[in-house]
Amino acid sequence: MGGLYTTVLWDLDDTLLDFPYSQRHGLRKCFQTMGMEITEEQITRYSQINDSYWKRLELGEVTREELRTDRFATFFREYGISGVDVDAFHREYEEALGSVFRFRNDGLSVVRSLQGICRQYVITNGVSAVARSKFRISGLETVMDGIFISEEVGAPKPQREFFRYCLERIREKDKSRILIVGDSLTSDIKGGMQMGIPTCWYHYDDRINDTPWKPDYEITDLHMVCEIVASL
């Protein structure tokens, strides 16, 4: 392991895996169970509501249990959909969410190409059962050296407690030789910067970074991680 980095901490959803693909499947399945159809406009709106709740979780404004049900309650209230058992809905949704996956940007080939070059771990704020299901069925379980899930850790990214937990359990102790790769500036990049860990912001669209969190690297193609890790 003679490259610049010996360890890569990968975000899961919207970095290695295409989260909107799984989200769309989960929402459609749950609405079909209710005998209803969900429109693309409603999926987009739910995604916005969901993102806002995850941001609030990062800031400690809501608990994980509040997030899991309140995002749907907010969505149903906004669209005047009544009579839904929100607890049952979110349980079915999470089961459906964890049953399908699609890689972003040839993600599996990228991590496979890094095997033997560096150690690799998944770091995710996702729901434990969903994340572990995707980790297994996607084949990442056979490639990665481990997975750290905030629900199991007891603190979400970007909180220092999450990253301290990870650092205590990986072999590399020199933070300058660890690289965090993720799509979230407020979770992955902020968390890494607060801990003094190099960061790489991956975005597959034309987003502009208007936050105070400036990563060490900015990429639009996951294959570029191989070049970063192997550089001397």
Q: What share of the chain is helix, strand, coil (3-state, %, to 5)?
A: 50, 15, 35
- The percent of residues in the chain predicted with pLDDT above 70, rounded, is 98
Give the domain extent around 119: 7-18+102-230
Specify whether 11 is catalytic: yes
- 75-119 tens-digit pLDDT: 999 999 999 999 999 999 999 999 999 999 999 999 999 999 999
CATH number for 38: 1.10.150.240
Model pTM above 0.85: yes
Active-site residue, selected from the candidate residues 11, 18, 183, 188: 11
List the one residue out of 102, 115, 142 whose CA is nearest residue 226. Answer: 115
Query: Are 29 and 47 contained in the same domain?
Result: yes
Taking the C-alpha atoms of residue 50 and residue 70, their distance in angstroms, rounded to an integer, is 9
Q: Given a cut of 70, is residue 232 above it in pLDDT? A: no
CATH number for 136: 3.40.50.1000
H/E segment holding residue 217: strand 217-219
Decide if 148 contacts 155 (C-beta within 8 A): no
